[in-house]
């Protein structure tokens, strides 16, 4: 339910204030301000509420207050604003209701839909949406019916679905002929929005993890940096563009911004604070920033061992995060302080969430006091390795022969049981462990399935790696060939051997079984009827 009080004497509101502890309310309110070309502020804590009164522009007396009806930071903030001599129009709402109400007030028929679980997608589209009069809707499979009803009644001239969204959302919006922007990579998606924004010599640099007034204003496009490293495609874009100046929001991205400057030679300015006060006594305070939802990446290295039996350096990576990550390492090996080898990955490898992966790097290492200096780039997708792990470690010496051998005989999908099966056979002479990983395209987006626990398979024995998943007819058409990676080895903790390939997807169905069962039942019933008739005749 929306509570609304307004005064006809206010006229057009001259600045917007948002009072909510929910990022979606803050985003929607700030986006509404950027859409209408209004200055805006938001409360970041209960302690911040009185301070905000001193920061507001005193020359703009009309304030549009957007206050959460569920989780405001300050209760009854309208009274505080009025006591500070502001004229206040107030709306009290939150979540989807607020999103729809402000979309109505925007009086537009152009919309961008993003998933409300991915805050960086909402940040990415904000400048383009504000400049081109698109209103952003934060949708998911629970609230899409409400947004659909609004869009149906309002009318739609243009609709963009941006980034990952639930299939229920995409299906519901089909009748509006939406354009979909999803390259499967948040940096690629962001670059598309920067290109659409149009030529600009100045750009905002951020990582999409927080809301800030200038980001939401729409005055300049927003380009994503990695938190610790700049993805190659971002560097390439800046080199080929007309961008002369980058304004970095926040201190945390200073290192990544410096890398961009070194690679492209653009000028970099750091916006790290805001000033308020007058009479020569202006005070600088931290920027008002509010975090948006994000998936934290967390890669570590558990151990590094040199296996003299296989002549390989075994590095065990640990993914301690809640999302699968890709990584690529460069490893300098030293003997008593002198470099003797440099090893690494030519292509990124995938480590599932809360899992480990041991990668073997072939090399014959001789020397004493072996140590390694590792630089590991990692990220959500192969092309955007934005995070950096640097670690110096001692190398443990082991001798562990590995005579394991496997093959993959096929990939099948059971439509009735919703099971994807990878047929694996131990072709070696020793019992060994195997762990399967499958890459599928699901409505154009890459999905990776990985077994949680390796299978122990005896010599000569076949076993299926089974994944419970539902594939529609469209998904099946998208995957005529399925990419499979099998990590295997004699040691469960070190599956250092790899078998990779693309295999035809065989479709199976058990529909024949119920048909046969029904036929048998029918035959039995007919038999009973015939038998009863014979008994009646004989009687």
Neighbour-count burial of 383, counting CB atoms closer than 10 A to its CB (0-12 exposed, 13-18 middle, 19+ buried): middle
pTM over 0.75: yes
Residue 132 resides in a domain: no
DSSP notation for 175-202 = GG--EEE--SSHHHHHHHHHHHH---SE
326 belongs to a structural domain: yes
CA 212/CA 119 separation, integer angstroms: 13
Q: Measure the CA–CA gap between 37 and 31, rounded to whole angstroms.
A: 10
For residue 512, what pLDDT is reported? 42
Count of domains in the chain?
Answer: 2
Domain containing 470 equals 406-508
Distance CA(227)–CA(250), nearest Å, equals 11
Domain limit, last residue, from 389, 423, 457: 389
Answer yes or no: is pLDDT of 328 > 90.
Answer: yes
Residue 7 has pLDDT above 50, yes or no: no
437 and 363 in a common domain: no
My answer on whether 315 and 378 are in the same domain is: yes
Q: What would the mean pLDDT of 480-505 be, rounded to a whole number?
A: 96
Residues of the chain above pLDDT 90, percent: 78
pLDDT tens readout for residues 329-366 = 999 999 999 999 999 999 999 999 889 999 999 999 99
Position 515 scores a pLDDT of 40
pLDDT at residue 309 tops 80: yes
Task: Tell me whether residue 312 is in a domain.
Answer: yes
Q: State pLDDT tens for residues 364-390.
A: 999 899 999 999 999 998 988 999 999
The CATH number that applies at residue 463 is: 2.60.40.10
- Summarised one tens digit per residue, pLDDT across range 218-262 is 999 999 998 888 999 999 999 999 999 999 987 888 899 999 999
| Mean pLDDT score, 490-497 | 95
Question: Is the per-residue pLDDT at 536 higher than 80?
Answer: no
Do residue 359 and residue 415 come from a single domain? Answer: no
530 — pLDDT class (breaks 50, 70, 90): very low
| Domain membership flag for residue 527 | no
Same domain? 434 vs 494: yes
Averaged pLDDT of the chain: 89
Lowest mean pLDDT among 23-32, 130-139, 144-153, 271-280: 271-280
Q: What sections of 241-340 are H helices per DSSP?
A: 254-264
- Residue 262 neighbours by CB under 8 Å, 6+ apart: none
Q: Report if residue 47 sits inside a domain.
A: no
Q: Is 412 in the same domain as 471? A: yes
Q: Please give the Cα distance from 468 to 420 (Å, whole number).
A: 6
Q: Band the pLDDT of 516: cuts 50, 70, 90.
A: very low
pLDDT above 60 for 299 = yes
Question: What residues contact residue 514 under an 8 Å CB cut-off, 6+ apart?
Answer: none
């Amino acid at each position: 339910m929306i509570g609304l009080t307004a005064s006809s004497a206010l006229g057009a509101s001259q600045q917007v204030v948002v009072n909510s502890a929910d990022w979606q309310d803050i985003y929607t309110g700030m986006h509404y301000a950027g859409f209408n070309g209004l200055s805006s502020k938001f409360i970041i804590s209960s302690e911040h509420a009185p301070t905000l009164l001193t920061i507001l522009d005193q020359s703009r007396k009309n304030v549009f207050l957007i206050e959460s009806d569920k989780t405001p930071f300050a209760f009854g903030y309208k009274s505080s604003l009025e006591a500070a001599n502001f004229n206040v129009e107030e709306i009290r709402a939150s979540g989807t209701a607020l999103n729809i109400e402000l979309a109505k007030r925007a009086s537009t028929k152009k919309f961008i839909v993003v998933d409300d679980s991915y805050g960086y997608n909402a940040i990415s589209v904000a400048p383009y949406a504000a400049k081109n009069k698109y209103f952003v809707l934060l949708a998911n499979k629970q609230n899409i019916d409400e947004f659909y009803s609004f869009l149906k009644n309002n009318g739609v001239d243009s609709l963009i679905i941006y980034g990952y969204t639930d299939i229920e959302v995409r299906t519901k919006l089909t009748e509006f002929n939406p354009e979909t922007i999803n390259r499967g990579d948040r940096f690629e998606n962001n670059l598309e929005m920067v290109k659409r924004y149009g030529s600009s010599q100045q750009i905002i640099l951020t990582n999409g993890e927080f809301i800030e007034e200038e980001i939401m204003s729409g005055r300049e496009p927003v380009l994503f940096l990695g938190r610790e490293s700049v993805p190659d495609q971002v560097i390439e874009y800046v080199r080929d563009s007309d961008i002369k100046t980058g304004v970095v929001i926040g201190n945390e991205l200073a290192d990544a911004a410096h890398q961009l400057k070194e690679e492209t030679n653009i000028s970099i300015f750091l916006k790290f604070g805001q000033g308020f006060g007058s009479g020569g006594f202006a005070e600088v305070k931290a920027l008002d920033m509010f975090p948006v939802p994000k998936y934290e990446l967390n890669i570590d290295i558990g151990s590094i061992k040199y296996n003299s039996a296989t002549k390989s350096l075994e590095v065990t990576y640990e993914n301690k995060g809640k999302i699968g990550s890709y990584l690529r390492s460069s490893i300098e090996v030293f003997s008593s302080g002198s470099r003797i080898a440099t090893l690494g990955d030519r292509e990124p490898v995938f480590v599932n969430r809360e899992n480990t992966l041991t990668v073997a790097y072939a090399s014959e290492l001789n020397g004493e006091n072996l140590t390694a200096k590792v630089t590991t780039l990692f990220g959500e997708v192969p092309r955007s390795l934005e995070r950096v792990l640097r670690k110096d470690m001692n190398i443990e010496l082991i001798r562990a022969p590995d005579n394991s051998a496997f093959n993959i005989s096929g990939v099948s999908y059971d439509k009735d049981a919703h099971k994807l099966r990878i047929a694996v056979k131990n072709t070696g002479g020793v019992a060994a462990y195997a762990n399967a990983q499958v890459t599928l395209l699901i409505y154009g987006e890459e999905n990776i399935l990985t077994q949680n626990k390796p299978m122990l398979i005896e010599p000569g024995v076949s076993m299926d790696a089974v994944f419970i998943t539902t594939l529609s007819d469209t998904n099946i058409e998208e995957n005529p060939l399925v990419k499979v990676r099998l990590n295997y080895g004699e040691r469960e903790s070190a599956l250092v051997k790899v078998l990779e390939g693309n295999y035809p997807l065989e479709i199976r169905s058990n529909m024949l079984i119920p048909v046969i069962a029904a036929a048998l039942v029918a035959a039995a019933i007919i038999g009973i009827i015939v038998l009863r008739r014979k008994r009646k005749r004989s009687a």
